[in-house]
């Protein structure tokens, strides 16, 4: 499978990359790890005449923890998310989730920027970013702007990012001390989730003081379920509270039947994943 | 769509090639350099038969353009051992029946090499998790896992003996 021909660009600054997108318009696409885009190019489902490779853009590399603020360059790979001890101490949920993405070879190449910017409902990191209340930094011809992860996703592959913008950085506050879990059901290694749940909880004594819940691949966008979180707050996280959280989550998701199963099955698995994730997160809070 | 010069190191040798930007690394290795150890299996980044080591990462060379490998240091199965001097992993796969048809073996061994660099003493579960990007349709994986564990143990004994 050989993709259609294109011109290759390898800028070394964000401004140069944005300039190339502005110059070539819809004909240009950026590539980070390439493990979503290159397969689509080979299948001739992605058309482009100019490929803008971001691998030399140093500004988009690296994991920075500055006090309470965590900044991830968009080119940080899933392998780096897994192996960074600095990140594990402020947001261990990222390691737990990244280990469940694809396979080792893909994780060496796949980037966090690609995972969150692509807008594929199957990607694992977007829901996680909504639980973390992350902000995405977008660079475009007009300068830079910041968009909340919770407001970024509009529909499958449709996001708040404009065509000539590049998602360059991700920022969020440390969640050190919060209980966390990412539970994912998939048919086999490398598969997208049939259903997955990201949970962050904080406790005050035996009472849950804060709970943030997001679901993956159960709608055409990730779903941040405020109702599910609210159902846990003020409780001890007992069976009745978990059942209430699952009921609230069920009202927010809208799964579609596909080769991972019918709607009823997906709703069932979503409930199981959320229940497991809440219990696992509580055991770590 | 101009052809582009790419310089990279493959198995310790400097190589200069002229490629179309759309040429995949696996095609450059196999067709321009006659390095046919990495195989084209699924060509959809699932099977891992095309795995090479690139700057210390296991990479599926069917999902990377050669132009992206400018300046890279690439190792294929040919760079690990030779018919006269098998790599410890190759010897272990031979001894433990870690292959039947052999199609997946270069990718398996190239991946296992990186896995053991990162984790010289893996558990069976860690081997299975670390080899999850490579598919084998013959062996049922039992003997592949056994081979990797045997190679790890062999490499660790050799290291201890040297110290």
User: Which residues of B are less than 8 Å from A7 in CB distance?
Assistant: 1-2, 21
Whether residue A2 lies inside any domain: the answer is no
Output b/e per residue, A225-241; b: 16+ Cβ within 10 A: beebbebbbebebeeeb
CATH classification of the domain holding A222:
3.30.390.50
| Helix count and strand count (H, E) for chain A | 11, 14
Residue A238 φ/ψ, nearest 5 degrees: -75, 180
CATH classification of the domain holding B75:
3.10.20.30
Q: Are B93 and B75 within one domain?
A: no
Q: Can you give the pLDDT at residue A1?
A: 83
Say if B13 is an interface residue toward chain A (CB within 8 Å): no
**Which pLDDT band, with edges at 50, 70 and 90, does A51 fall under?**
very high
The total of other beta-carbon atoms located within 10 Å of residue B140's CB is 10
Q: Can you give the pLDDT at residue A190?
A: 87
**Which pLDDT band, with edges at 50, 70 and 90, does A6 fall under?**
very high
**Percent of chain A residues topping a pLDDT of 90:** 98
Mean pLDDT of A227-239: 98
Q: Which residues of A touch B (CB under 8 A)?
A: 1-8, 10, 34-35, 38-39, 41-42, 51, 53, 55, 79, 102-106, 108-109, 189-190
Considering only CA atoms, which of B92, B96, B97 is closest in space to residue B113? B92
User: Which residues of B are less than 8 Å from A111 in CB distance?
Assistant: none
The residue segments making up the domain with residue A11 are 7-53
Q: Tell me whether 0.90 is exceeded by the ipTM.
A: yes
Q: Using CB atoms, which residue from A6, A41, A108 is nearest to B59? A: A108
Whether residue A1 lies inside any domain: the answer is no
User: Which residues of B are less than 8 Å from A104 in CB distance?
Assistant: 58, 111, 115, 129-133
User: Which residues of A are less than 8 Å from B46 in CB distance?
Assistant: 190
Nearest CA in chain A to B115: A104
Q: What is the mean pLDDT of chain A?
A: 97
Say if B51 is an interface residue toward chain A (CB within 8 Å): yes
Q: Are A141 and A78 within one domain?
A: yes
Say if B3 is an interface residue toward chain A (CB within 8 Å): no
Q: Are B21 and B75 within one domain?
A: yes
**Which pLDDT band, with edges at 50, 70 and 90, does B2 fall under?**
confident
Mean pLDDT of A174-203: 96
**Which pLDDT band, with edges at 50, 70 and 90, does B1 fall under?**
low
pLDDT at A195 over 90: yes
Mean pLDDT of A90-96: 98
pLDDT, tens digit (0-9, with 9 covering 90-100), for B31-54: 999 999 999 999 999 999 999 999
Nearest CA in chain B to A55: B68
Instruction: Tally the domains of chain B.
Output: 2
User: Which residues of B are less than 8 Å from A109 in CB distance?
Assistant: 57, 59, 63-64
Q: Are A234 and A278 within one domain?
A: yes
CATH classification of the domain holding B157:
1.10.150.120
Q: What are the distances in angstroms from CA A182 to CA A22, A56, A74, B41, B77?
A: 38, 32, 21, 32, 36
Q: 3-state class of A256 per DSSP?
A: coil
Q: 3-state class of A38 per DSSP?
A: helix
Mean pLDDT of A155-164: 96
The residue segments making up the domain with residue B123 are 88-162
Q: Using CB atoms, which residue from A6, A39, A55 is nearest to B68? A: A55
Asked if the Cβ–Cβ distance from B22 to A53 is below 8 Å, we say no
User: Which residues of A are less than 8 Å from B24 in CB distance?
Assistant: 2
Q: What are the distances in angstroms from CA A80 to CA A99, A137, A255, B57?
A: 11, 20, 31, 11
Say if B24 is an interface residue toward chain A (CB within 8 Å): yes
**Which pLDDT band, with edges at 50, 70 and 90, does B163 fall under?**
confident
Nearest CA in chain A to B65: A38
Nearest CA in chain B to A51: B21
Instruction: Tally the domains of chain A.
Output: 3
Q: Where are the beta strands (DSSP E) in A105-232?
A: 135-140, 143-148, 153-155, 158-159, 166-173, 179-185, 195-204, 207-216, 223-224
How close, in Å, is residue A219 to chain B by CA atoms?
25
Q: 3-state class of A136 per DSSP?
A: strand
Whether residue A94 lies inside any domain: the answer is yes
Residue B156 φ/ψ, nearest 5 degrees: -70, -40
Domain boundary among A152, A173, A194: A173
How close, in Å, is residue B131 to chain A by CA atoms?
7
Mean pLDDT of A187-216: 96
Whether residue A124 lies inside any domain: the answer is yes
Asked if the Cβ–Cβ distance from A10 to B2 is below 8 Å, we say no
Q: Are A41 and A75 within one domain?
A: no
Asked if the Cβ–Cβ distance from A105 to B111 is below 8 Å, we say yes
Mean pLDDT of B93-100: 97
pLDDT at A155 over 90: yes
Burial class (CB in 10 A: 0-12, 13-18, 19+), B38: buried
Say if B96 is an interface residue toward chain A (CB within 8 Å): no
Q: Are B63 and B104 within one domain?
A: no
CB pairs under 8 A between A and B: 80
């Amino acid at each position: 499978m050989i993709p259609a021909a294109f011109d290759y660009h390898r800028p070394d600054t964000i401004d140069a990359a944005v300039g190339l997108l502005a110059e070539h318009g819809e004909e240009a696409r950026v590539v980070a790890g390439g493990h979503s885009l290159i397969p689509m190019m080979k299948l001739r489902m992605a058309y482009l005449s100019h490929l803008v490779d971001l691998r030399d853009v140093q500004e988009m590399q690296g994991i920075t923890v500055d006090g309470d603020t965590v900044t991830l360059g968009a080119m940080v790979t899933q392998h780096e998310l897994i192996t960074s001890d600095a990140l594990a101490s402020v947001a261990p949920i990222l390691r737990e989730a990244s280990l469940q993405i694809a396979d080792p070879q893909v994780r060496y190449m796949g980037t966090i920027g690609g995972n969150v910017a692509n807008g594929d409902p199957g990607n694992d990191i977007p829901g996680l970013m909504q639980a973390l209340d992350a902000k995405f930094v977008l660079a475009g011809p007009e300068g830079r702007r910041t968009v909340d992860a919770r407001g970024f996703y509009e529909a499958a592959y449709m996001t708040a990012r404009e065509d000539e913008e590049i998602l360059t950085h991700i920022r969020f506050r440390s969640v050190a001390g919060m209980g966390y879990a990412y539970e994912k059901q998939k048919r086999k290694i490398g598969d997208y989730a049939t259903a997955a749940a990201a949970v962050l909880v904080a406790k005050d004594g035996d009472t849950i003081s804060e709970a943030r819940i997001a679901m993956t691949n159960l709608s055409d966008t990730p779903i941040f379920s405020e109702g599910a979180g609210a159902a846990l707050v003020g409780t001890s996280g007992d069976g009745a509270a978990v059942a209430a959280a699952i009921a609230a989550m069920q009202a927010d998701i809208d799964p579609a039947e596909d080769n991972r199963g019918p709607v009823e099955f997906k709703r069932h698995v979503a409930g199981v994943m959320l229940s497991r994730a809440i219990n696992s997160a509580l055991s770590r809070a | 769509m101009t052809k582009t010069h790419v310089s990279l190191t493959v198995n310790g040798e400097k190589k200069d090639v002229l490629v179309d930007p759309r040429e995949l690394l696996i095609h450059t290795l196999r067709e321009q350099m006659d390095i046919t150890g990495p195989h084209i299996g699924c060509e959809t980044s699932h099977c891992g038969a095309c795995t090479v080591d690139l700057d210390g990462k296991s990479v599926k060379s069917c999902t990377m353009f050669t132009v992206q490998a400018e300046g890279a240091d690439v190792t294929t199965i040919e760079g690990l051992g030779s018919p006269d001097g098998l790599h410890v992993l190759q010897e272990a796969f031979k001894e433990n029946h870690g292959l039947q048809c052999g199609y997946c073996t270069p990718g398996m061994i190239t991946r296992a090499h990186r896995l053991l660099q990162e984790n010289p003493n893996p558990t069976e579960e860690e081997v299975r998790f670390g080899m999850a990007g490579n598919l084998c349709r013959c062996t049922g994986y039992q003997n592949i896992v056994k081979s990797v564990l045997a190679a790890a143990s062999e490499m660790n004994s050799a290291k201890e003996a040297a110290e």
